[in-house]
A and B are shown apart, each in its own frame.
Chain A
Amino acid sequence: MYKVLAKEMLNPTVVRLTIEAPDVARSAQPGQFVILRVDENGERVPLTVADYDAKTGSVSIIFQIVGTETELLSRKEAGDYILDFVGPLGRPSNTEGIKKVAVVGGGVGGAIAYPVAKKLHQQGAEVHIIAGFRSADLVILEKEFAEISSIFRLMTDDGTAGEKGLVTDALAALIEEGHQYDEVIAIGPIVMMKFVSLLTKKHGIKTTVSMNPIMVDGTGMCGGCRLTVGGETKFACVDGPEFDGHLVDFDGLMKRNSMYRKVEQEHLCNLMEEGK
């Protein structure tokens, strides 16, 4: 059992939980993830390590409530327990040799990108952050992003906060202004990562994206997380989750991730009925 140390709602559907997990905290690095199970009947859910502190043995996760497991997880309060919590899994982000970087986050993807952006900032790299949200009420980590970046562009679809527009608009503008990035790191919805990658390919900028296929074990045992990268089959949990955005087959991944949509919706409906 793993104790919930703290809980915070970052917006109405995005939650930060801090969990007591010394084994994970001791070896975690930016870009890695954990797999947790809320309770005995629960699925194994992959979530990125949003922050970690080896001294206190704690690990934070930031997640969006999208279905049954994340809904149940969001009902945990400080002092409650979750059943299983394993990690860190996956390869750490590569930060070596990066002097100037644009980090592009879409929705909760911004939270996933935050640890690597922070590490790059601490390493002395020049960090530009573009964070996109649907509207003002969904904005998260605004203060944190501003603190670690020399340029921070907040974008919303409806213009209720920051500038109105897409993250790709902001990135294109920064590139136009003449910023030369060693790398672009893009994390968010698959479509967003796809379009960022198309843009950066035109400009020949190396681009890293973080893939979130359906996972079971997270250790390379099931092959459920496989995706096609540069024509080769890769397992996201051990070969990733970060890959070269110019080589990933985004459309294939979108199809694979829809595999259980119907069943999952039924589970969630049942849960919501119970909750009433």
Chain B
Amino acid sequence: MANMQPNKTPMPELDAALRIQNFEEVALGYTPEEAKAEAERCLNCKHKPCVNGCPVGVPIPEFITKIKEGDALGAAETILSMNMLPAICGRVCPQESQCEQVCVRGIKGEPVAIGRLERFAADALREAGGAKQEQPAPNGKRVAVVGSGPSGLTCAGELARLGFSVTVYEALHKPGGVLVYGIPEFRLPKAIVAEEISALEKLGVKIRTNVVIGKSMTVDELLEEYDAVYIGSGAGLPSFLNIPGEELNGVYSANEYLTRINLMKAYTETSRTPIYRAKKVVVVGGGNVAMDAARCARRLGAEVSIVYRRTEKELPARLEEIHHAKEEGIEFAFLASPLKLEGDENGWVRSVHCQQMELSEPDASGRARPVPVEGAEFDIPADCVIIAIGNTPNPLISATTEGLETNRWGCLVLTDEDAGLTTRERVYAGGDVVTGAATVILAMGAGKTAAAAIAKQLS
């Protein structure tokens, strides 16, 4: 008999007052009993609408059934058949707009907590020592992957499973892309990312860090050595507001702020990378990146305000992150748009001068645009300002690879969407470098699609 509770089984969390003093994971995960109770809420629908909501097609009712039966490891194996990074996805997928959005239980009440259950199964498997990986027999074909974010890793893993010899080239000193340099420890512990990556290495994927494609080596050089190349280099180029004062000290791009904290561990005693410990931080933006920057700043002891052009309803961040940010005492200034940053005589930022906005009537696209309220301007004091208004693909690769076309946002153009094929033969691409900043699971889906196309092309 299904559990007809209208709400998700709650997941224990660290108390907000406690967690803003450290970088420990906030959401603590289900116990086996809680997981079972939540699994009982799934109706095991025949037509499986939830699976269509998942970009990598995780067999959702099947794995949830295994959890019902108390077989967490079996559940994890089931997920792994379609998704090689389940402990990551269970934590960071925007489930409310993917699998859970179309869950039948969501029509009356809350959907099944698919993400939390996925996390539960993946964690159980990891604690049991991980999946038994056998290296498949090599098929003699070689593929190079550029970038070790979720997209590149997924493409590499899928190909390795099929016997391809795959080498991933990563510009930074640690693999993982945004999963290691962007998303903070308290949402996604780095040890978990490292373990999911090491599972791929056990499958035979080779990872070479400290290689910048386009600088240390070009795509054309890779093509001489490999049968195909997959580009999953992400959207790492930060946008700035282009307003006066952005060059002041204390003004960071979210990328720099988060990289110092997450990749370089600047918040720890032992790390020698400095980070400015501000008293009053203003974060500009409203996406996941803004929430992460704000919550990191809070943990470094600052009062934090998020400045966003529209209203709470339009915030693009995951609901859970907004909720957590509020619990942690982060203030929101909605309908505010920075006009300039004011500094002191030593070149340090002192305040953010904002324009009050209001939402216009929805336009043809149905979206209400923020427009200035004439004459309404105000100041928010700040000794640190973090700009989190978006990222676009870095031109390092497109600029050094002839014939690799980009659109006007710098995203790589695909000639065959279903295969992830770029405008160059044998060169595939996917993830943020194609779509612009999007989500982990879409990046993984693209990696998987391209892997299948590469396998087909090379067989």
Contacts and interface: CB of A to CB of B under 8 A. Distances in A.
Interface in B187-233: 209-212, 215-217
A89 B173 contact: no
Contact of B240 (A27, A37, A223): A223
Nearest to A91: B215
Contacts of A43: 264, 272-274
B211 to A, nearest CB: 6
A219 B146 CA distance: 14
Contact of A220 (B217, B236, B274): B236
A259 B346 CA distance: 10
B217 A23 contact: yes
B255 interface: yes
B276 interface: yes
Contact of B259 (A83, A86, A216): A216
Interface in A11-64: 23-24, 26-27, 37, 41-44
Contacts of B246: 226, 233
A42 B249 contact: no
B259 A226 contact: no
B247 A86 contact: no
A219 B147 CA distance: 13
Nearest to B216: A23
Contact of A221 (B255, B264, B271, B274): B255
B212 A86 contact: yes
Contacts of A179: none
Contact of A84 (B209, B249, B347): B209
Contact of A37 (B173, B236, B247, B265): B173
Given A27-B215, A88-B216, A238-B396, A267 B247 contact: no
A259 B383 CA distance: 12
A263 B273 CA distance: 9
A165 interface: no
A263 B215 contact: no
B309 interface: no
B210 A27 contact: no
A41 B272 contact: yes
Contacts, number: 112
A68 interface: yes
Nearest to A67: B272
Contacts of B119: none
Contacts of B30: none
Contacts of A228: 247
A180 B394 CA distance: 40
Interface in A214-255: 216-217, 219-224, 226-228, 233, 238, 252, 255
A86 B211 contact: yes
Which of B212, B215, B240, B249 has the most CB atoms of chain A within a 10 A radius of its CB?
Answer: B215
Interface string A66-106: 00110000000000000111111100000000000000000
Contacts of A83: 173
Contacts of A41: 265, 270-272
A84 B173 CA distance: 7
A260 B247 contact: no
A85 B210 contact: yes
B253 A27 contact: no
A260 B215 contact: no
B212 A223 contact: no
B113 to A, nearest CB: 34
Contacts of B240: 223, 226, 233
Contacts of A37: 173
Contact of A86 (B173, B237, B264, B396): B173
Interface residues of B, number: 39
B242 interface: yes
Contacts of A85: 210
Which of B238, B276, B346 has the most CB atoms of chain A within a 10 A radius of its CB?
Answer: B238
A87 B216 contact: yes
B359 interface: no
A3 interface: no
A219 B347 contact: no
Contacts of A24: 216
Contacts of B394: 219-221, 238
Q: Chain A interface mostly helix, strand, loop or mixed? A: mixed
Contacts of B395: 220, 238
Contacts of B321: none
Given A220-B236, A256-B347, A23 B211 contact: yes
B173 A220 contact: no
A226 B239 CA distance: 12
Given A41-B272, A84-B210, A221 B238 contact: yes
B252 interface: yes
Contact of A267 (B211, B237, B272): B272
A96 B237 CA distance: 30
Nearest to B209: A84
A264 interface: yes
A223 B272 contact: no
B247 A88 contact: no
Given A37-B173, A86-B210, A221 B259 contact: yes
B210 A260 contact: no
B171 A86 contact: yes
Interface in B233-286: 236-238, 240, 242, 246-247, 249-250, 252-253, 255-256, 259-260, 264-265, 270-274, 276
Contacts of A259: 249-250, 276
Nearest to A40: B270
A208 to B, nearest CB: 20
A222 B238 contact: yes
Given A44-B273, A86-B211, A233-B246, 11 more contacts: A41-B270, A84-B173, A86-B171, A87-B216, A216-B256, A219-B236, A223-B240, A238-B396, A252-B347, A258-B249, A267-B272
27 contacts: A23-B211, A42-B272, A43-B272, A44-B273, A87-B212, A87-B215, A89-B212, A216-B256, A216-B260, A217-B171, A217-B259, A219-B215, A219-B236, A221-B181, A221-B236, A221-B255, A221-B259, A221-B394, A222-B253, A223-B253, A228-B247, A252-B247, A252-B347, A258-B249, A259-B249, A259-B276, A267-B272
